[in-house]
Amino acid sequence: MDTIQLITPAPWTDYELIDSGNFQKLERFGQYVLARPEPQAIWDKSLSDADWERRAHAVFRRDRQSPERGDWQTRPDMHDPWFVQFQQGGLSLKFKLALTTFKHVGLFPEQADNWIYIHNKVKALSAQAGRPRILNLFAYTGGASLAARQAGADITHVDAVKPVINWARENMDHSELDNIRWIVEDAVKFVRREVRRGNQYQGIILDPPAYGRGPDGEKWVLEENLNDLLKSCADLLDRDNYFFIINLYSLGFSSILLDNLIGQRFGHVPNPEWGELVMNDNFRKRLPLGVFYRFASV
């Protein structure tokens, strides 16, 4: 498919994008409403500042000395951490959320459609060729890993940050799942070693950041390292039964960039889907939250 798509997850009970604007977004995660920065929301808010202040249980304030870090101002009735449920498309998952100094809470709701896609592809691959092996790189707190595991996959979850791996393990337990393989390692190193070993996977999921550091100080810069990483992933991906997903969150990166990279590294791919991940707020403003590319043999 050569048409750029806009994918918006179906509404789910424990998440709501209430409003966006003035470089912020107002979201409900379960019983709590959060206000935090959003560089893509360059338009005006629809609600008043007073409405935002009245609704928000927690507000993120950036540290003037750091473009990334900050602190949360919370109301007395805010409990941190807390939990949300995702029940949709045959999935039933439970996530622990917490307020971090990087404004994140441990969940990217715009990924919900990809979770269902992964779940469905694992089921289809299992019907064709038995239990598939899935590799999740830059896997964070594990939404995609949980979706694959609940569908019956053997899942290898790789992230360079040990506390994040521990968080993902908690999510596995809360979702009443087990037997995920946890790897604390630099993604590039791990993939290169898997290629040397001749290993293959029926599914590969990538969620690379713009910048990052491996556990031994390895430097990751998206525009410098992505091309080579995709080359290794092409060597790892089974060519008979498979699916592949990549998401990019960096500002200024186009899905056309991914189309070019995928074409060079994988050649002609079946059933391609590519475009933007979008969330709609309650006032019909569409907030772009990343680009994606995915394809599958099933």
Stretch 21-44: mean pLDDT, rounded? 97
Q: What is the pLDDT of residues 41-53, one digit of tens each?
A: 999 999 999 999 9
Q: Tally the residues of the chain.
A: 298
Residue with tokens 């498979």: 242
Q: What is the pLDDT of residues 13-22, one digit of tens each?
A: 999 999 999 9
Which H, E and C letters describe 188-247, residue by residue? HHHHHHHHHHCCCECEEEECCCCEEECCCCCEEEHHHHHHHHHHHHHHHECCCCCEEEEE
The candidate with the shortest Cα–Cα distance to 102, out of 207, 212, 12, 187, is: 212
- The alpha carbon of 297 is separated from its chain's Cα centroid by a whole number of angstroms, namely 22
Say which amino acid occupies 233: C
**Alpha-helix runs per DSSP H in 135-186:** 143-150, 162-174
Contacts of 206 (CB under 8 A, 6+ apart): 137, 138, 229, 233, 245, 246, 247
Contacts of 43 (CB under 8 A, 6+ apart): 20, 21, 22, 285
Angstrom distance (rounded) from CA 114 to CA 118? 6
Contacts of 284 (CB under 8 A, 6+ apart): none
In the predicted model, is pLDDT for residue 67 greater than 80? no
Give the per-residue pLDDT at 34.
98
Contacts of 27 (CB under 8 A, 6+ apart): 15, 16, 17, 18, 33, 34, 36, 109
Give the per-residue pLDDT at 64.
79
Say which amino acid occupies 54: R
Give the per-residue pLDDT at 1.
54
Q: Tell me what percent of the residues of the chain surpass a pLDDT of 70.
A: 99
Stretch 72-95: mean pLDDT, rounded? 97
Contacts of 53 (CB under 8 A, 6+ apart): 59
Q: Tell me what percent of the residues of the chain surpass a pLDDT of 90.
A: 91
pLDDT band with cut points at 50, 70 and 90 for residue 195: very high
Angstrom distance (rounded) from CA 282 to CA 66? 31
Q: CATH topology for 108-296?
A: Rossmann fold (3.40.50)
The matching CATH number, chosen from 2.30.30.830, 3.40.1230.10, 2.60.40.1180, 2.60.40.10, for 9-85 is 2.60.40.1180
pLDDT band with cut points at 50, 70 and 90 for residue 273: very high
Q: For all residues of the chain together, what is the average pLDDT?
A: 95
Q: In 10 A of CB 120, how many CB atoms?
A: 18
In the predicted model, is pLDDT for residue 227 greater than 90? yes
Rg of the chain on CA atoms, in Å: 19
Angstrom distance (rounded) from CA 181 to CA 284? 41
Beta bridge partners of 70: 62
Tokens of 153: 């996959």
CA angle 135, 293, 282 (to 5 degrees): 110
Helices (runs of H) and strands (runs of E) counted in the chain: 7, 17
* Domain map (residue ranges) of the chain: 9-85, 108-296
pTM listed for this prediction: 0.96
